[in-house]
């Protein structure tokens, strides 16, 4: 394989990687958004405290969008003498625009018909009613037509709607008499349609100061999962592209002497610069265009195949991607190929005198080439990712990892006692920087291989394990202090021992950094909404495992100080930092807390978590209630009813559907990741191959000379095998360190996960790398040892 062929291969691969991952990300994101839109009930939702102006519907319809409306309010539902606080959701005939309502009759694509209601199991249990019983809401009686626990809609998100839900037809609302002035009603306008029209509508709504939410924003758990998946995809893609850029750079170095020689010969026979450019530049440009075209065709075919495979396996249809990823990929490939341009340009400036001093290395070409390569890598990176941390990590992993490995190898070889020229160590020591660069390349290839394994076992598996089969699927809130023990006993009697009980008090923010604040002090509608209602404040003795510490230090368990730890949501909304003070009005008494740590909550852990947490001793007892979560196995289905009967004031939330949704998202993300990782691995192998290819002529010459001097083939075999084995061993040892550090950085900076270095099996990579490298080196050079020295010498 020649450097030119390898360059073509790299460019095909670079195009395919950038286009495939771009298209795949776009398609999976679109798919996930569609699916989560199904949970939301639309692609966008507008939330208002009063009836939306007719302009909202008009504008949406003008843009070709569908709309549906929901009015939700808390009220009481009566059955006989019993009553229960409910979350009433009144929906029109268009609702839901996305998704279905899961009832005991099956999946329904619209709300209840007029005159009937659908109620949640919790309400049926609390009031002891069944289907076809009557339920009194406001001034009307309704027939309970179905039990519906899972319905799309904003009211289904998070814990904002805690009371059992009741779905009612919009046509019945007026007759209930509930819609009066001062009713605590919320008006939701669901919007669905084409992405461009949605984007335009969103811009219009925001300019009209309307509060717009999308699935990812509404559901922090899903937003988290999506965000991590896209970060990992970007990282793997960038690592591949940076690696390929390094390979293309190396190949440019190998092609430079040939270009320079051709230039010198052409000049010596009188060719002008333009003719030489045409002669050398045309094949270069043709290669680039052809490779990009092949890469794009392969991507399109791969995407079709992938869609077909996913369709077959998961019974879902992937939305098609736009042309943008293909365009970005073509540009990225141009930037990667451009790495060779300075070397081609320098070669074309070669004087004919080169013919008399062959073998001279053009150091200026190396310097300008390196600088240009750095610019190209940054260009490619910024085309593929907009996250500076991801760009820095991938460039750092590839270039930094290679450099560190090279330097370490160079240092180790200098420290070891000098070996003779016919020993493996002596050979490596005498090759100096060449050995170091080889170790860097081989170590990098190995690092990527190990990183993939490490990611799978040390990051992705624990990431999935955050949602184990027994992830909490029930949340119970409003537990009174005197009910804690009894509730725990009841759960324990059913075999549930791991329910995490957390206290919760409600407080209102009255001052920030000693200065009184109100809604008007904040411009952001989301912050205004948050400020305008009570915060849920909890306590924790230690930093929960599913919380990542971003800044500051978490308190000691027995801290008596009025400290507070804020999640990034609160940090961003209120502009908090370490040392900021928050004054909260709790049950009429102001409490001032100082921020001592900033956290990032992993909402997809499904454990109870809070934006604001204080030490246990700093949480006022007044008005405190408790919250817990636990896993309820399917066979304990009746436990929900028993709990509601035993503790009528408790609110019980069933999260099974949400959990299965997150599992689906992580599953999809993993499929996409494995696809991208295979590209990264090929890029790593190409780097190793191109390194070996580059030194092949020099190696062959060495072997020829040694053979001419009389070394036996057996001696030569031992020498080559030992040298490559030692090289592989050093590279393997170095890559263990690089991989552990990279995994640590990835875990803490990208995945926000706790991580500890692994000591088990650390000797395996150096030993295996040594064996493989020894075998590979001998395979590569075996032919040269069999060729008569006369032929080798005449060829070199």
Partner 1 sequence: MSQRDIVLAASELSHTIPHGTESVSILRGLNLAIGAGETVAILGPSGSGKSTLLSLLAGFDTPTSGSVQLAGQPLATLDEEGRAALRARHLGFVFQSFALLDNLTALDNVRIAAEISGLDQPRDRAEAGLRSVGLGHRLDHRPPQLSGGEQQRVALARAFVHRPPIVLADEPTGNLDQNTGAHIVEQMFSLNADAGTALVLVTHDPTLASRCSRQLHLHDGQLQTRPA
Distance from C-alpha of 754 to C-alpha of 760, rounded to nearest angstrom: 18
Of 702, 721, 740, 742, which one interacts with partner 1 (CB under 8 A)?
702
Region near partner 1 per CB under 8 A, out of 177-185, 429-437, 553-561, 654-662: 429-437
Of 301, 416, 790, 795, which one interacts with partner 1 (CB under 8 A)?
790
Residue 226, φ and ψ in degrees, nearest 5: -60, -45
Of 712, 756, 764, 795, which one interacts with partner 1 (CB under 8 A)?
712
Of 272, 283, 388, 432, which one interacts with partner 1 (CB under 8 A)?
432
Angle, in degrees to the nearest 10, between helices 713-745 and 764-786:
140
Residue 551 lies near partner 1 (rule: CB under 8 A): no
Residue 231 lies near partner 1 (rule: CB under 8 A): no
* Minimum CB distance to partner 1, residue 782 (Å): 13
Residues 407-426 vs partner 1: string with x where CB under 8 A?
Answer: -------------xxx----
Of 309, 311, 698, 764, which one interacts with partner 1 (CB under 8 A)?
698
Indicate the residue among 100 and 705 with the shorter CB distance to partner 1: 705
Both structure tokens of 656: 């099974």
* Minimum CB distance to partner 1, residue 713 (Å): 5
Residues contacting residue 491 through CB under 8 Å, at least 6 positions apart: 497, 499, 630
| Length reported for the chain | 796
Of 1, 313, 709, 760, which one interacts with partner 1 (CB under 8 A)?
709
- Distance (Å) of CA 74 to CA 92, 161, 637: 18, 9, 27
Cβ neighbour number for residue 79 with a 10 Å cutoff: 19
Both structure tokens of 70: 């929901």
Of 713, 756, 779, 782, which one interacts with partner 1 (CB under 8 A)?
713
DSSP 39: H
Cβ neighbour number for residue 273 with a 10 Å cutoff: 12
Indicate the residue among 42 and 257 with the shorter CB distance to partner 1: 257
* Minimum CB distance to partner 1, residue 708 (Å): 6
Beta bridge partners of 134: 143
* Minimum CB distance to partner 1, residue 704 (Å): 8
Residue 789 lies near partner 1 (rule: CB under 8 A): yes
* Minimum CB distance to partner 1, residue 435 (Å): 9
Region near partner 1 per CB under 8 A, out of 431-439, 553-561, 612-620, 650-658: 431-439
Residues contacting residue 581 through CB under 8 Å, at least 6 positions apart: 511, 512, 513, 514, 592, 593, 594, 595
Residue 46, φ and ψ in degrees, nearest 5: -105, 135
Distance from C-alpha of 796 to C-alpha of 793, rounded to nearest angstrom: 5
Residue 430 lies near partner 1 (rule: CB under 8 A): yes
R_g of the chain, CA atoms, integer Å? 33
* Minimum CB distance to partner 1, residue 781 (Å): 15
Indicate the residue among 191 and 719 with the shorter CB distance to partner 1: 719
Angle, in degrees to the nearest 10, between helices 220-268 and 273-314:
150
Beta bridge partners of 78: 83, 136
Indicate the residue among 113 and 420 with the shorter CB distance to partner 1: 420
Residue 791 lies near partner 1 (rule: CB under 8 A): yes
Indicate the residue among 302 and 789 with the shorter CB distance to partner 1: 789
The runs of H, that is alpha helices, within 455-510 are 461-465, 484-493
* Minimum CB distance to partner 1, residue 606 (Å): 60
- Distance (Å) of CA 289 to CA 12, 223, 333: 10, 39, 9
Cβ neighbour number for residue 35 with a 10 Å cutoff: 18
How many residues bind to partner 1 according to rule CB under 8 A? Answer: 29
DSSP 653: E
Residue 431 lies near partner 1 (rule: CB under 8 A): yes
Indicate the residue among 61 and 361 with the shorter CB distance to partner 1: 361
Q: Closest Cα to residue 501, out of 468, 477, 470, 529?
A: 477
Residues 590-629 vs partner 1: string with x where CB under 8 A?
Answer: ----------------------------------------
Residue 707 lies near partner 1 (rule: CB under 8 A): yes
Tokens 């599913």 identify what position?
546
- Distance (Å) of CA 14 to CA 98, 428, 617, 723: 37, 33, 57, 33
* Minimum CB distance to partner 1, residue 792 (Å): 9
Both structure tokens of 302: 């791969």
Residue 281 lies near partner 1 (rule: CB under 8 A): no
Indicate the residue among 372 and 410 with the shorter CB distance to partner 1: 410
Cβ neighbour number for residue 688 with a 10 Å cutoff: 20
Residue 784 lies near partner 1 (rule: CB under 8 A): no
Residue 718 lies near partner 1 (rule: CB under 8 A): no
Residue 715 lies near partner 1 (rule: CB under 8 A): yes
Of 1, 710, 760, 761, which one interacts with partner 1 (CB under 8 A)?
710
Distance from C-alpha of 86 to C-alpha of 76, rounded to nearest angstrom: 6
Of 324, 371, 378, 708, which one interacts with partner 1 (CB under 8 A)?
708
Distance from C-alpha of 185 to C-alpha of 175, rounded to nearest angstrom: 16
- Distance (Å) of CA 585 to CA 310, 513, 536: 53, 14, 12
Residues 368-407 vs partner 1: string with x where CB under 8 A?
Answer: ----------------------------------------
Cβ neighbour number for residue 769 with a 10 Å cutoff: 28
* Minimum CB distance to partner 1, residue 710 (Å): 3
Residue 783 lies near partner 1 (rule: CB under 8 A): no
Of 388, 623, 757, 788, which one interacts with partner 1 (CB under 8 A)?
788
Site residues (vs partner 1, CB under 8 A): 359, 420-422, 430-432, 434, 698, 701-702, 704-715, 786, 788-791, 793
């Amino acid at each position: 394989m020649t450097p030119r062929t390898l360059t073509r291969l790299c460019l095909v691969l670079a195009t395919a990687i950038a286009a495939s991952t771009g298209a795949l990300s776009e398609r999976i994101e679109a798919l996930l958004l569609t699916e989560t839109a199904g949970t939301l009930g639309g692609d966008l939702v507008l939330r208002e405290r009063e009836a939306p102006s007719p302009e909202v519907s008009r504008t949406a319809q003008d843009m070709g969008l569908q709309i549906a409306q929901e009015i939700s309010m808390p009220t009481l539902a009566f059955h006989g003498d019993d009553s229960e606080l409910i979350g009433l959701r009144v929906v029109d005939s268009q609702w839901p625009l996305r998704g279905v309502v899961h009832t005991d009759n099956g999946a329904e694509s619209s709300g209840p018909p007029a005159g009937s209601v659908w109620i949640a199991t919790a309400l049926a249990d609390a009031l002891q009613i069944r289907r076809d019983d009557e339920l009194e809401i406001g001034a009307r009686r309704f027939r309970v037509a179905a039990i519906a626990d899972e319905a799309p809609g904003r009211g289904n998100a998070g814990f904002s709607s805690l009371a059992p839900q009741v779905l009612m037809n919009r046509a019945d609302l007026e007759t209930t008499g509930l819609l009066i002035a001062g009713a605590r009603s919320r008006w939701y306008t669901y919007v669905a349609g084409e992405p461009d029209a949605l984007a335009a509508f969103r811009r219009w709504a925001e300019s009209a100061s309307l509060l717009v939410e999308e699935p990812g924003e509404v559901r922090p758990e899903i937003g988290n999962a999506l965000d991590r998946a896209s970060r990992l995809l970007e990282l793997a893609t960038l690592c591949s592209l940076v690696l390929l850029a390094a390979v293309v750079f190396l190949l440019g170095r190998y092609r430079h002497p040939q270009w320079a020689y051709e230039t010198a010969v052409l000049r010596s026979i009188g060719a002008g610069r333009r003719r030489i450019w045409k002669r050398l530049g045309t094949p270069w440009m043709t290669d680039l265009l052809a490779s990009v075209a092949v890469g794009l065709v392969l991507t399109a075919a791969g995407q079709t195949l992938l869609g077909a495979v996913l369709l077959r396996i998961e019974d879902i249809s992937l939305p098609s991607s736009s042309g943008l990823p293909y365009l970005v990929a073509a540009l990225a490939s141009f930037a990667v190929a451009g790495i060779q341009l300075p070397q081609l340009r320098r070669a074309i400036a070669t004087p004919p005198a080169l013919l008399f001093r062959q073998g001279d290395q053009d150091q200026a070409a190396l310097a300008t080439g390196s600088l240009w390569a750095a610019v190209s890598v940054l260009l490619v990176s910024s085309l593929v990712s907009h996250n500076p941390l991801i760009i820095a990590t991938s460039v750092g992993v590839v270039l930094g990892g290679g450099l560190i490995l090279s330097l370490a190898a160079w240092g180790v070889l200098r420290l070891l006692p000098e070996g003779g020229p016919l020993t493996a160590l002596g050979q490596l020591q005498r090759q100096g920087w060449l050995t170091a660069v080889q170790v860097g390349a081989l170590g990098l290839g190995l690092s990527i291989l190990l990183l993939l394994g490490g990611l799978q076992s040390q990051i992705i598996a624990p990431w999935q394990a955050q949602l184990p089969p027994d992830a909490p699927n029930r949340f119970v809130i409003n537990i009174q202090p005197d009910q804690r023990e009894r509730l725990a006993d009841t759960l324990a009697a059913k075999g549930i021992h791991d329910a995490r009980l957390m206290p919760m008090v409600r407080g209102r923010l009255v001052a920030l950094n000693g200065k009184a604040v109100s809604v008007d002090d904040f411009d952001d509608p989301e912050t205004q909404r948050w400020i305008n209602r009570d915060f849920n404040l909890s306590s924790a003795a230690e930093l929960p495992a599913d919380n990542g510490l971003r800044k500051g230090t978490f308190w000691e368990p027995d801290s008596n100080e009025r400290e507070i730890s804020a999640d990034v949501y609160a940090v961003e909304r209120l502009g908090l930092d370490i040392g900021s003070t928050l004054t909260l009005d709790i049950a009429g008494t102001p409490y001032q807390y100082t921020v001592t740590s900033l956290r990032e909550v992993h909402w997809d852990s499904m454990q109870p978590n809070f934006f604001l947490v204080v030490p246990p001793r700093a949480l006022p007892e007044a008005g405190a209630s408790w919250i817990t979560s636990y896993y309820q196995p399917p066979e304990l289905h009746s436990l929900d009813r028993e709990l509601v009967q035993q503790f009528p004031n408790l609110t019980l939330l069933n999260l099974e559907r949400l959990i299965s949704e997150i599992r689906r998202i992580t599953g999809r993300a993993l499929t996409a990741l494995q696809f991208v990782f295979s590209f990264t691995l090929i890029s790593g192998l190409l780097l190793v191959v191109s390194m070996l290819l580059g030194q092949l002529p020099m190696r062959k010459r060495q072997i020829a000379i040694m053979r001419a001097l009389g070394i036996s083939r057996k001696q030569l075999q031992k020498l080559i095998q030992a040298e490559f084995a030692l090289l592989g061993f050093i590279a393997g040892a170095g890559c263990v360190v690089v991989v552990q550090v990279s995994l640590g950085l990835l875990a803490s900076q990208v995945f926000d996960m706790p991580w500890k270095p692994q000591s088990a099996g650390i000797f395996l990579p150096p030993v295996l790398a040594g064996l493989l490298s020894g075998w590979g080196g001998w395979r590569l050079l075996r032919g040269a040892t069999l060729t008569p020295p006369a032929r080798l010498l005449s060829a070199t």
